[in-house]
Structure 1
Amino acid sequence: MPEARTAFFIGDVALDDYFTAERWPDIADKALVREAKSYVGGMIANAASVHAGLGGRTEFISLLNDSQLSARLCMALNETGVSTRHMLHDPSLADSRNLIFLVGDEHVVLIIEMGNQPMQLTPEALAGLRTPGYLYMSLGRTKRLRAEGLQGRELLADFRRHGRKLILDLDVDGFSAGDLDYLHGADVLIMNQIGFGHAFGDIDLAGMNAWMRKHQVGTVIRTLAAAGAEAFDGQGRIEVRGYKVPVIDVTGAGDTFGGALTYALGENLSVPEALELAIAAASRAVAIEGPQGGVASLETIKLFRAEFARERS
């Protein structure tokens, strides 16, 4: 059996400070909130931890300051099996924190702005990225990458020439016309229903296939919350249903989906098989509080799928 390839995750890691509230206030309104626990989180870091928990070889890169909190964040990732040896540091940055409010069955996330400073990759990180495997990122981070005089989409093209496959998590923002150069040649685009609507509106399947061929995108995935997810692979539509589970915290469910999907594709599973694993992992995650509630072994996910097989939504 060939040696497992290393997946790189480049993006955010943060301390997630949790609060609960009965309702979310309007502008100029007030609402009572209760302070809860704090967890290590961050969209891409969560996905990396899920990938490592399933048994994947995982490298994570972010840009942090040199504070004790940054050291704590890296240590927590290491404890999940994620390597942070290529981490970048800038002492002028603020601490990396998010404020997360649980309201009913949903959540509101407030992200503390840290700026858009360039991320100058180390020679060692660049060498690693110039090997076959998957790269999982957000769109914003792709624009900040720098190495050997290359930046942004030039670096992405360089990685692809070396066999590195790109998965972009577009989340709620989707993309705009000015982002198309960064998406070109991506293997997978992931977005939720809001992001998909921003990006494609009411596009039909024929239009989707034509768009994917034009921009050489392999697969577009729309997550559908409790209903599951659907994928467009340039040929047709693939749909996978979700699982009926008690909802405790939806924070990190999308990240769990992305990390599990990356693991499955790295294990050479087909897109339908990868979707099945990712949906099971994400469905299990919402029944656990905390942004990394989706971190679990492959055996744990298999047991979950067997237990809830008759409760598909």
Structure 2
Amino acid sequence: MSVFFIGDVAVDEYYTADRWPGIADKDFIRELPTECGGSIANAAVVHAGLGGVTEFISLLNESPLSERLIADLAENGVSTRHMLRQPGIPESRNLIFLVEGEHVVLTVEMGRQPMVLPPETMAALRQPGLLYTTLYRARRLHAADSVLRQAALLADLRQHGRRAVFDLDVGGAAEADLPYLQGAEVVIFNQVGFRATFGHDDLEAAADWQLANGIARLVRTAAADGAAALDGDRILRAPGHKVDVVDVTGAGDTFGAALVWGLGRGRDFGSALTFATAAASRAVTRHGPRGGRASAEEVDAWRQAMSQAGAG
């Protein structure tokens, strides 16, 4: 069963700094090697590395940089046969600054052009499976052969058995976003996005919101503290792992990809949550937006080694 990832792919330009300067300030930065990245593309690469059947859709221009991004995805086992192209839109780039164990990401604005899905892509999406995406992309989806668009398009896919997983990251969700989230299989927040949405940090207090919108599972990640989830009427917790952090870029993408991979393989939600937390913890011990790329066996071996080290 294939999983579709609809979202961003970009060249990530990395820099480090001793501090983050303020307005009207100056400082030096150090350049690091450029990587192919983009949040949802990172997740797709991790999913393929785990052994998943992975389809990726984004909207790119016709430049050599776009060809490089597409070739890189293919080299990582990600299918790009449904990629959308539009001449004249900006290059897809992120500027990433690593400062004091955290990262600041600045993304070049590419516009909000509709992502028009041709009939063959709609036919592929109208098959049972999972869809991993963001609100930013979901708002731009249109079907070329019908009036379906945005939330109505997602509802159509859901009726055909395509279950949506939303990565809301730091942005969270507002009232206007609810039509997109309704009926989702999983909605993932990090701590910042959860607080932006609910104004508090109490996962259990979000249960009414989850129920009212028909969301099967609500997940809040908490960096080194792992993750917690509302799964129906129960709360599940997956503790984090104490590691030496090298680069947190892509940790959330690794978590989402590993969670989707586990669900796609028929794992129960608690097992998938624990596996995803381990995969994300492992990812931050490596440099680069795709440091989480590994086989399922490598993640399980790492988790076992960490457990043994903790017991010792």
Alignment equivalent of 1:183, drawn from 181, 188, 193: 181
How many equivalent pairs are there? 309
Residues 18 and 99 in structure 2, CA contact (< 8 A), matched pair in contact too: yes
1:8 to 4, 19, 25: 4
User: How far apart are residue 259 of structure 1 and its match?
Assistant: 0.5
- Partners of 2:56 and 2:155 in 1: CA distance: 20
Alignment-derived partner of residue 83 in structure 2: 87
TM-score by length of 1: 0.96
Q: CA deviation at 1:202?
A: 2.5
Q: What's the offset of the Cα at 1:207? A: 3.9
Provide the residue aligned with 1:296 in structure 2. 294
Equivalent residue for 1:49, pick from 45, 52, 55? 45
For each residue in 1:189-234, what CA deviation from the matched residue of structure 2 results, as whole angstroms up to 9, or x when unmatched?
Answer: 0010000001112375664222222110001100000110000113
Identity of aligned residues (%): 55
| Coordinate RMSD, CA, aligned | 1.3
> What is the aligned counterpart of 1:62 among 58, 64, 72?
58
SS of residue in 1 equivalent to 2:97: strand
Q: For each residue in 1:262-305, what CA deviation from the matched residue of structure 2 results, as whole angstroms up to 9, or x when unmatched? A: 00000111111011110111011101110011111111111111
- Structure-2 residue corresponding to 1:263: 261
Which one of the candidate residues 199, 218, 221 is aligned to 1:220?
A: 218
| Segment of structure 1 superposing worse, 203-212 or 266-275 | 203-212
1:123 to 119, 125, 141: 119
Q: Pick the aligned partner of 1:165 from 163, 166, 169.
A: 163
Distance 1:186 1:254 in 2: 19
Q: Contact 2:194 / 2:201 at 8 angstroms: preserved in 1?
A: no
The amino acid that maps onto 1:114 is M
- 1:151-192 per-residue CA deviation (whole Å, 9 max, x = no partner) reads 000100000000000000000010011111111111100010
- What do residues 9-49 of structure 1 show as CA deviations (whole Å, max 9, x unaligned)? 00000000000100000111112101111000001000111
Q: Distance in 2 between matches of 1:49 and 1:36?
A: 21
Partner of 1:150: helix, strand, or coil? coil
> Runs of 5+ in structure 2 lacking a partner?
none
Q: Residue 308 of structure 1 aligns with which residue?
A: 306
Q: Letter of the aligned partner of 2:72 in structure 1?
A: A
CA, structure 1 residues 253+17, in 2 after alignment: closer, same or farther (shift >3 Å)?
Answer: same
